[in-house]
């Protein structure tokens, strides 16, 4: 049932139905740590219930202290609440205690990005790529590093866009969402909305975080953004 809840909220954008599935899961097994973890992440991404999301992910953590993925989700939930210093403290400790756990560095790079600490973002992308063993991620991180060294953050973003666009031909994944975030950072709103609409067509789970992802802040005053929020059906 937790998986049903995740799928209904992430890909069907049925937020009421997905929440009902999570509630059923909690009735059947209140001590299911992964159910509390995924529920916390879902409501954190949607926004408006930050304290509830933090309480849920903390409950997951208390239920299973040993699982690094839950600790990483603690960081992610705080990230959607824009509590970046907390994220850095949590995920630095996670990385230190689990030196081969790549998602700890994904968690860190998002927090550093939120704080506009761009050299650290690049370093965490490189660490994540090294530990993930994913060739596409390695190519992406290397391109961003090259761009940053030659022309700073905007050049890194442009290199990242170039590589993700090429990679998208063979694998969609989260590519459209990342492209939208990067173009929003670059101030190129038309391109950002183009990729958000592609993400919509792809049923990209990232659209759950339309209202919470800090990278999209430059777009939120645009009428096209409100229309996309309406189409996805996010709670108002």
Residue 159 backbone dihedrals phi, psi, to 5 degrees: -65, -40
Q: Give me the chain's average pLDDT, please.
A: 93
The 10s digit of each residue's pLDDT in 33-86 is 999 999 999 999 999 999 999 999 999 999 987 899 999 999 999 999 999 999
Cα gap 22→35, rounded to integer Å: 7
pLDDT confidence of 167, banded at 50, 70, 90? confident
94-120 burial by CB neighbour count: b if 16+ within 10 A, else e? bbeeeeebbbbbbbbbbbbbbbebbeb
The yes-or-no verdict on residue 112 having pLDDT over 70 is: yes
The 10s digit of each residue's pLDDT in 204-226 is 999 999 999 999 999 999 999 99
| Residue 166: burial class (beta carbons within 10 Å; 0-12, 13-18, 19+) | middle
Domains in the chain: boundaries: 172-236
pLDDT of residue 4: 82
Cα gap 18→159, rounded to integer Å: 37
Quote the tokens at residue 14: 């049925």
Q: Mean per-residue pLDDT for 116-121? A: 98
Per the CB < 8 A criterion, the answer to whether 45 and 235 are in contact is no
Cα gap 209→214, rounded to integer Å: 9
């Amino acid at each position: 049932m937790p998986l049903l809840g995740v799928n209904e909220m992430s890909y069907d954008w049925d937020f009421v139905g997905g929440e009902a599935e999570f509630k059923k899961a909690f009735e059947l097994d209140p001590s299911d740590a992964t159910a509390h973890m995924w529920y916390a992440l879902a409501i954190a991404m949607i926004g408006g219930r930050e304290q509830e999301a933090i309480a849920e992910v903390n409950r997951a953590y208390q239920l299973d202290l040993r699982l690094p993925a839950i600790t990483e989700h603690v960081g992610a939930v705080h990230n959607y609440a824009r509590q970046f210093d907390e994220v850095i403290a949590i995920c630095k400790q996670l990385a230190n205690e689990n030196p081969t756990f790549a998602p700890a560095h994904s968690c860190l790079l998002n927090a550093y990005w939120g704080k506009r600490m761009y050299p650290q973002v690049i370093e965490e992308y490189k660490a994540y790529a090294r530990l993930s063993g994913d060739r596409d991620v390695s190519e992406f991180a290397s391109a961003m590093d090259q761009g940053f060294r030659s022309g700073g953050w905007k050049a890194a973003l442009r290199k990242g866009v170039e590589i993700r666009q090429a990679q998208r031909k063979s694998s969609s994944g989260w590519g459209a969402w990342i492209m939208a975030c990067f173009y929003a950072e670059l101030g190129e709103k038309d391109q950002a909305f183009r990729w958000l609409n592609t993400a919509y067509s792809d049923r990209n789970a990232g659209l759950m975080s339309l209202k919470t992802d800090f990278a999209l802040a430059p777009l939120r005053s645009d009428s096209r953004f409100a229309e996309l929020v309406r189409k996805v059906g996010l709670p108002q």
